[in-house]
Amino acid sequence: MNKTDKIYIPGHTGLIGSAVVRRLQRSGFSNLLLANHTELELTDARVVDAFFNAHAPEYVVLAAGRVGGIVENQLYPADFMIENLAIQLNILKAAHRIGVRKLILFASSCMYPRQCPQPMPESALLSGQPEPTSLAYAISKLAGMQMCLAYNQQYGQQRFIPVIPNSTFGPNDNFDPKSGHVLSSLIRRFHEAVQTGATTLTLWGSGSPRREFIQADDVADACILLLNSDADIPNLPINIGTGKDCSISELAEIIAAIVGYKGIIEWDRSKPDGAPRKLLDSSRIQSFGWKPEGNLEDGIKDTYQWYLDKVLCQDGCL
């Protein structure tokens, strides 16, 4: 890529999209196309077509979509499917029509079968049923992934690259316990427990499932590497993970220590756990020369500080 190439980042205010913007700007890219939800409704095909006609981006990093934790997935499965399918279809059709050079689409580790070899290789996709608690979202992301691969196959070009980052966290995450993912939700819950002087905090599930967490900036670095690479990329999705995981109970202990919670942690085993383990085999992205720079504890410290500085101060520095 050249520093003046037009790069469109749908979802640029979100967790991964904002990390991509930071990395590109830090590297001197000056022609970023950014439009928020109020300026560009991505579920409207006519609006998306008009935007691509007007701006003709050369690269696209599709970071927009509806995401959420177990609660949101259980309450709004139709919304998850409708919004994600519409966004992916509209962006991919427009990108193909105007001839973008490369496009990255973010798929999800929840697409893998609930019972899956660990670490999970890309070849294990579609070998079993995904975790039921996130099935609608998983199906929508599988469809987006397959659309990318289908375009590549039909037109003989490896332009559309679906990537699968594992549980991502960092600045601009969603810290709402009802709609956020586990790490950001735990940061908020432990912070509020400290502020209220709670001596007991009850968390969902058993705490035994194991998850792999990766900082958004590391995911952004991997994506920029793929956009810049001239190497032949096989027509498969590409995992992006750290190669290390921890149990949810271990994660809770780390966050409790960082936030300063000294009370008791209890587990509500009547609530769902989700998949027992989700560790990605990231050997393919590593073969391109990428490796994560961040570590879990330092990343959580930085994310918690961002939460204190940005989220709480927007609400009056409570």
Q: What is the model's pLDDT at position 64?
A: 96
Q: Known catalytic residue: 261?
A: no
Q: What is the model's pLDDT at position 317?
A: 52
Compute mean pLDDT per 10 residues along the chain, 318 residues long, and list them. Answer: 96 97 95 92 97 98 89 88 97 98 96 94 95 92 97 94 96 89 95 97 96 98 93 85 97 98 97 91 95 95 95 60
Q: What is the model's pLDDT at position 315?
A: 56
Catalytic pick from 137, 151, 261, 304? 137
Measure the CA–CA gap between 189 and 177, rounded to whole angstroms: 7
Q: What is the model's pLDDT at position 294?
A: 85
> What pLDDT, in 10s, does the model give residues 93-135?
999 999 999 999 999 999 999 999 999 999 999 999 998 988 9
Q: Which domains does the chain have, with CATH numbers?
A: 7-313 (3.40.50.720)
* Plot region of 34 (φ>0 → left; ψ -120 to 50 → alpha; else → beta): beta
Q: What is the model's pLDDT at position 79?
A: 94
pTM of the model: 0.94
* Contact indicator for 266, 203 with CB cutoff of 8 Å: yes
Instruction: Kindly compute the dihedral angle of the four CA atoms of residues 77, 171, 16, 32, in this order, to the nearest 10 degrees.
Output: 130
